Structure 1
Amino acid sequence: MNRKKYRRWLIIVFIIYLCAFSYYLSYTIHTSIPDVWKLTVGKEETLDFNLPLTMQADDESLAVASINGERVPSDQIHLNLNETVSVNIEEKGTYHFSLKWMGFHLKDVEVDVVDETKLMPLGMPVGIYIRTKGVMVLGTGSVTDYEGDRAEPAADVLQSGDYILEADHQKIQSIDDLTDILEHWEGGDMLLTVLRNNESEKVRVTPVRTEDSEYKIGAWIRQDAQGIGTLSYVDSENHFAALGHSITDVDTSRRIDISGGRLYQSNILSIVKGQNGVPGEMVGNIDYKHGQTLGRIESNNENGIFGTLAEDAGLYDESQALPVGYRHEVEKGPATVRCCVDGNIRDYEVEIESLELGGSGKNRDMVIKITDEDLLNATNGIVQGMSGSPIIQNGKLIGAVTHVFVNDSTKGYGIFIENMLEH
């Protein structure tokens, strides 16, 4: 091989190596270094990333900080992330740092210094009932008019996932509202206000007079949803969080926009064990009797459902509340999950196998594996209904269970608790 070819191959190998290293570095930074760190004010925090990177403060307003036990002026804060470093910031606020490698700027990191937050981890099964915002369109279909012909009045007008908010300038809050308007319809176009992709739109549909002299628009609609989930936590002001993921419609697989909802007491009657390829589930009943309402659901987003418990719920116990463990404090290794599968709320052993610290996990921030023999015997792992079960590590509430692996019921995903707090 002559020298030119040899050099060419060296250049090609070097370029491949450089690309591979760049990809590895980018991936490592993305998964290991969050864009936003939360630190507790006045508390020494240990950072142990073991990466050949440095962080430098960009904000001169950071007046009081200690690095490895020594006070350091803001213009001299320089963190070596290749070594274990302790940080103590004594003033609340948002501060900005530059992440660098060999002097090259890689990305900006925001550090939020906040008061210590304590939450009461629950693990309590609850009945969930929600009402949609307006009525939800599941799909469109054909109807037979009074002459015996088939028609599809809503085709190309309404879409699966639309919410009908108004019909003929009248608010729609239930299926009965829409039915009542159609019962009194006298023909012609009907103006509908729909919520589509979070934007309000006006559309027109022509209801069809059917064989029995009723008017129909040819749409399948739904107004509510219900099921069983697990309460994750409640704070000192009775605000709760549950599930760790949004409630989606079973037919459209889209997140349901809600007008409100209620939590009810629930009793677990039996467990259908999970099997590879077939998720298990908790089977229970929901007590809708008067006086059994536990709380009001106010929000349904990708990080869970949120609201306020009834004043007499009495679920918050200051002596049992735990501090929040932020993402940089979460470690691979042993943890516990709190849930109720046999009528008693208790903690079960799990193993955190991997972490997505970069923050793009979308309620899949960690992978957990059930290791507790009692829970494995009862459920074979994670089952539907356990979503929201709080995850505890080193005496802190760090997350909640969100999903089960379909092909391995002993494993599943969890969300960082700090993401649920940002609802």
Structure 2
Amino acid sequence: MKYELLKKIIGGILLVSLVAIGFSKPIQEYVNIPQKITLFEGQQFSLHKAVNVSAGLSADNKSIALKQNRHSVSLQAKSYGKNEMILELAGLPIKKVDVDVLKDFKVIPGGQSIGIKLNTVGVLVVGHHQIDTEKGKVSPGEIAGIKVGDIITEINGKRIKKMEDVAPIVQKTGNEGKPLDIVINRENEKMKTKLQPMKDKKEHIYKLGLYIRDSAAGIGTMTFYDPNSKKYGALGHVISDMDTKKPIVVEDGQIVRSTVTSIEKGSNGNPGEKLARFSTDREIIGNINRNSPFGIFGKLNRELKNGVMDKPLPIALSHQVKEGPAQILTVVNEDEVSLFDIEIVSTIPQKFPATKGMVIKVTDPKLLQKTGGIVQGMSGSPIIQNGKLVGAVTHVFVNDPTSGYGVHIEWMLNEAGINIYEQPREKVS
């Protein structure tokens, strides 16, 4: 009986001790350590530890070097590979952390103002209009069920690439009194309809009763480019049509240099804007093959220099970005790229691609004086923290132009077709 009682007392003491250990500050610190740490070759990761906690690696594969003293543990990424760090207290494992080492990777930051021209897949329907016919006013396009935002890709079996492709077919078929066989793209779905062109009684030509457009133009900011592949990313957000408010489906496009001519300063409730013009030489410096929620992407024809940071910089993954001081590269005067101070107010370690990863605030007095904060045209401005490219400016807060959102560079690289997780190729002997 006494023996059973003694066992219960000892068990209770052990239980209380374990609970106490679980709620102790050192243990809580380790609980908060991420389950996975990703480093690039040459990078180091450090953490504080309690005196009686030890750390070790599960495998000796030489990808990681571990050093520790009484108060800290540091991991030095040596070469591509995977490992596992195990933290122990009194011989009992309290935390396991997967450690991945990625191959060394650097990109060249941008900051340059660029002119953007997008060519759509087919022609975009941006509105309906009434045709004044002998039988009254009517919109054949609306009758055919064609909606604003639809993209006309084929008429009578012919692929439509630009607005000039439409008129000859409409006039020919209209004179024959036949309806048009229309193929449209709506929300990534292919649809077919028939449309009977109607003759305008004043102009004596056949019309569709649709407003259409085949291209869009604007300005933005270059974020980065890979010095090896020349793949680039810019803007940090999708380009939508000004009328339909829907993302533009890109056939192709070009980027050129642009020059900032003036700044409309932002204020509460009224975002400012960079006013710019395409460079006079209109030299195409790259193509556009993708317009995604994370920006525009393509390939440069040649190297670009910003005159401030022209050497390749390492990048930071989303979990490596910290709250605190940072800088952006952008243009506010002609084509001169400058470095300005900002604060990363908050950052979210994201496991999956998402557009709003950071909240940033402009703190630089010169930039605040010139622009009032973040303005339209600044989207894509690279964000630099501790010598690393961490993301890009994307949106301004309408009611507080000093602040806005940023996107993590990790996701822009992915959209550009740059695989930073790719395993290095083995050398062939």
The one-letter amino acid paired with 2:370 is A
Q: Percent identity at matched positions?
A: 37
1:204 maps to: 194
2:183 maps to: 193
> How far off is 1:325 after superposition?
1.2
2:110 maps to: 122
| 2:325 aligned with 1:325 | no
1:78 maps to: none
2:221 maps to: 230
**Contact 1:229–1:385 (8 Å) recurs in 2:** yes
Q: Deviations over 1:348-407 (max 9, x none)?
A: 110000112235673211011000001011101010010000000001000110011100
2:39 maps to: 39
**Secondary structure of the structure 2 residue equivalent to 1:182:** helix
240-249 vs 138-147, greater mean Cα deviation:
138-147
1:169 maps to: 157
**Contact 1:258–1:300 (8 Å) recurs in 2:** yes
1:19-418 alignment runs, 5 A limit: 38-41=38-41, 43-46=43-46, 66=64, 68-69=66-67, 86-87=74-75, 92=80, 113-155=101-143, 157-185=145-173, 186-211=176-201, 212-237=203-228, 238-287=230-279, 289=281, 292-311=283-302, 320-343=311-334, 344-359=336-351, 362-418=354-410
The one-letter amino acid paired with 1:335 is A
Q: Which runs of 5+ in 2 are unaligned?
A: 1-31, 49-56, 86-96, 416-429
Distance of 2:132 and 2:257 partners within structure 1: 44
**Contact 1:41–1:91 (8 Å) recurs in 2:** yes
413-422 vs 33-42, greater mean Cα deviation:
33-42
> How far off is 1:226 after superposition?
0.6
Pair 136,61 (structure 1): closer, same or farther in 2 beyond 3 Å: farther
Q: Which runs of 5+ in 1 are unaligned?
A: 1-31, 49-56, 71-82, 98-108
**Secondary structure of the structure 1 residue equivalent to 2:142:** coil
The one-letter amino acid paired with 2:286 is G
Pair 35,138 (structure 1): closer, same or farther in 2 beyond 3 Å: farther
> How far off is 1:117 after superposition?
1.4
Distance of 2:36 and 2:411 partners within structure 1: 11
Distance of 1:388 and 1:34 partners within structure 2: 29
Instruction: Select which of 413, 416, 426 maps to 1:421.
Output: 413
The one-letter amino acid paired with 2:45 is E
2:93 maps to: none
**Secondary structure of the structure 2 residue equivalent to 1:378:** helix
**Contact 1:370–1:411 (8 Å) recurs in 2:** yes
**Secondary structure of the structure 1 residue equivalent to 2:241:** coil
Q: Deviations over 1:41-90 (max 9, x none)?
A: 46433479xxxxxxxx9xx99956648438xxxxxxxxxxxx98644566
**Secondary structure of the structure 2 residue equivalent to 1:421:** helix
> How far off is 1:201 after superposition?
2.3
Q: Deviations over 1:313-358 (max 9, x none)?
A: 5679996211011112111000001111023211111000011223
**TM-score, scaled to structure 2:** 0.75
The one-letter amino acid paired with 1:69 is K
Aligned length: 363
